[in-house]
Amino acid sequence: MPEPDAGVLAARPDLVRRLRAAVPDGVVAEEDALRPYETDALTAYRQVPLVVVLPASTAQVAAVLRVCRDMGVKVVPRGAGTSLSGGALPLADGIVLGLSRLNRILEIDYENRTVTCQPGVTNLGISNAVAARGFYYAPDPSSQIACTIGGNIAENSGGVHCLKYGLTTNNVLGIEFVTMDGEVIRLGGKHLDPEGYDLMGVLTGSEGLLGVVTEVTVRILPRPETARAVLLGFPSNEQAGDTVAAVIAAGIIPGGMEMMDGFAIRAAEDFVHAGYPVEVESLLIVELDGPGAEVDHLVERVVEIARARGAVTVKASTSEEERLRFWAGRKAAFPAMGRISPDYLCMDGTIPRRELPRVLAAMRDMEKEFGLRVANVFHAGDGNLHPLILYDANNPGELERAEAFGAAILRLCVAVGGVLTGEHGVGVEKRDLMGEQFTKADLDQQQRLKCAFDPKGLLNPGKVFPVLHRCAELGRLHVHAGRLPFPDIPRF
């Protein structure tokens, strides 16, 4: 991060006064009270923010952003702070704009199958609000009990059920957001296919760099009539990887298809006793959902495909209680690692499904190279890997080694035709690896988009882009020999 802006630090008392005028009951300025905001779920990085502001309405968000624009103060939006890529990491010379007080469900419209709510409502809060009528919100990050729908939009979050039902971007129909100039803009609504450019697609996954989301309309779905989960154990990752590819190739789209390696299986089983086979090296949990007869038929087909590829354990759930138990191990896999290792880094890269066996084998070799262990628990159907690199921050140099290991895994993901992130975003964690995936021309083009929304670069700077050019510099890149390319178009 660059040195904090001395002018902004000096103007702090004036900033606090003006923010208190904008949000009288929502400004946190005392050192002790700022501490809880110093990190998100990428806890290796910490920075106490200049001030925290907790607005309670869109109008207050707009007023705060205008104050910051006028005073040249940077703004880091924050939902629940569960980002694993450091997206909500504060800046010493910036405010944290916490959206947690904007936590009301505004409308449930069963006829149109939508929920409209404020950005601080938790992901699970949406499903809970419509559960009594048999509905739910499909994208289900493992952090769903805590993470907010605003954060989900900023990260384009996913989860176990996104293979069949899509990521956040496929389930959001409308948003209201506020620009750095304090303008309130609405995109989409309850209808499909919003008009004009797909700006909602641009905002979704923009990691708080383009605008602050203040209202959201999402699609809700009726709960499937039946769901059954099948546990499939294999002697090798290759056989499990082949099974994943073969299931999809057969035209079956499971509600979820997760994979765990031997290390993760044994850690999870020790922790929650989900009934996992501890002798296998690879486990698939495949969930089929829909009408009962269809689900029973699909379970048979998946089992057939798996047996043909060497599955040595096959267990299909026969009750809802058993289905939930099968999932309990997967859901507890991260905390299970916490019992084994004082710290872990959770990586997030995506690869073409057919590369799963090769990449998992390469990670085993890297374990030796970096001298650290890795457990794999991931969304196999999407090819979205979550290697958990175990380390102990108390051992000098181990965090750095874990980060180098993580970077090597992400480089490998890109090398086999994948991408740097599946659902956790770039943040600060993968920022300096962006050049592995994008050319300078790609990154310049992305920054032009950033400049169109936030020309002064005040919204969440230091995230996503390895080098953030000043917008004026970017504008000059295509001006040749001092002449404007289109002299008749006025410039501002």
Ligand X SMILES: Cc1cc2nc3c(=O)[nH]c(=O)nc-3n(C[C@H](O)[C@H](O)[C@H](O)COP(=O)(O)OP(=O)(O)OC[C@H]3O[C@@H](n4cnc5c(N)ncnc54)[C@H](O)[C@@H]3O)c2cc1C
Quick one: which of 94, 119, 224, 457 contacts ligand X (CB under 6 A)? 119
Quick one: which of 49, 55, 79, 256 contacts ligand X (CB under 6 A)? 79
Q: Decide if residue 87 touches ligand X (CB under 6 A).
A: yes
- Least Å distance, CB 126 to ligand X, is 13
Q: Decide if residue 431 touches ligand X (CB under 6 A).
A: no
Q: Which helix (H) or strand (E) holds 423?
A: none
As a whole number of angstroms, the distance between CA 154 and CA 319 comes to: 37
CA distances from 406 to 232, 346, 365, 366 (A): 28, 9, 13, 10
- Least Å distance, CB 416 to ligand X, is 22
Q: Decide if residue 254 touches ligand X (CB under 6 A).
A: no
As a whole number of angstroms, the distance between CA 460 and CA 88 comes to: 8
Q: Decide if residue 424 touches ligand X (CB under 6 A).
A: yes
Would you state the structure tokens that stand for residue 297, as one six-digit string? 């038929």
- Least Å distance, CB 91 to ligand X, is 11
As a whole number of angstroms, the distance between CA 229 and CA 9 comes to: 55
As a whole number of angstroms, the distance between CA 157 and CA 319 comes to: 29
Nearest residue (CB) to ligand X, 166 versus 277: 166
Distance separating the N- and C-terminal Cα atoms of the chain: 30
Contact map string, positions 142 to 181, toward ligand X, x by CB under 6 A: xx---xx-xxx-xx-xxx----------------------
- Other CB atoms within a 10 A radius of the CB of residue 392 amount to 13
Nearest residue (CB) to ligand X, 81 versus 241: 81
Q: How many helices (H) and strands (E) does the chain have?
A: 18, 20
Q: Decide if residue 305 touches ligand X (CB under 6 A).
A: no
Q: Decide if residue 60 touches ligand X (CB under 6 A).
A: no
Which residues, numbered 218-237, are part of the site for ligand X (CB under 6 A)? none
- Least Å distance, CB 219 to ligand X, is 17
Quick one: which of 51, 68, 84, 375 contacts ligand X (CB under 6 A)? 84
Nearest residue (CB) to ligand X, 154 versus 443: 154
DSSP calls for 169-200: GGTEEEEEEE-TT--EEEEE-SSSS-SSS-HH
- Least Å distance, CB 250 to ligand X, is 26
- Sequence-ordered list of residues with C-beta below 8 angstroms from that of 283, at least 6 positions apart, any chain: 231, 232, 233, 234, 240, 259, 260, 265, 276, 277, 313
- Least Å distance, CB 444 to ligand X, is 22
Please give the single-letter amino acid code of residue 360: L
- Sequence-ordered list of residues with C-beta below 8 angstroms from that of 58, at least 6 positions apart, any chain: 102, 176, 178, 184, 214, 215
Q: Decide if residue 381 touches ligand X (CB under 6 A).
A: no
- Least Å distance, CB 336 to ligand X, is 12
Q: Decide if residue 265 touches ligand X (CB under 6 A).
A: no
Q: Decide if residue 383 touches ligand X (CB under 6 A).
A: no
Q: Decide if residue 349 touches ligand X (CB under 6 A).
A: no
CB 258 within 8 A of CB 285: yes
Nearest residue (CB) to ligand X, 84 versus 402: 84
CB 180 within 8 A of CB 79: no
- Sequence-ordered list of residues with C-beta below 8 angstroms from that of 38, at least 6 positions apart, any chain: 46, 47, 48, 49, 90
Q: Decide if residue 116 touches ligand X (CB under 6 A).
A: no
Nearest residue (CB) to ligand X, 268 versus 299: 268
Quick one: which of 81, 254, 383, 461 contacts ligand X (CB under 6 A)? 81
- Sequence-ordered list of residues with C-beta below 8 angstroms from that of 183, at least 6 positions apart, any chain: 62
Which residues, numbered 447-486, are part of the site for ligand X (CB under 6 A)? 460
- Least Å distance, CB 36 to ligand X, is 13
Q: Decide if residue 280 touches ligand X (CB under 6 A).
A: no
What is the number of alpha carbons within 13 Å of residue 268 lying toward its C-beta?
27
- Least Å distance, CB 81 to ligand X, is 4
Nearest residue (CB) to ligand X, 269 versus 429: 429
Nearest residue (CB) to ligand X, 144 versus 239: 144
Laid out side by side, the sheet with 27-28 consists of: 27-28, 51-53, 94-98, 74-78
Q: Which residues bind ligand X (CB under 6 A)?
A: 40-41, 76-84, 87-88, 99, 119, 141-143, 147-148, 150-152, 154-155, 157-159, 207-208, 212-213, 334, 423-424, 460
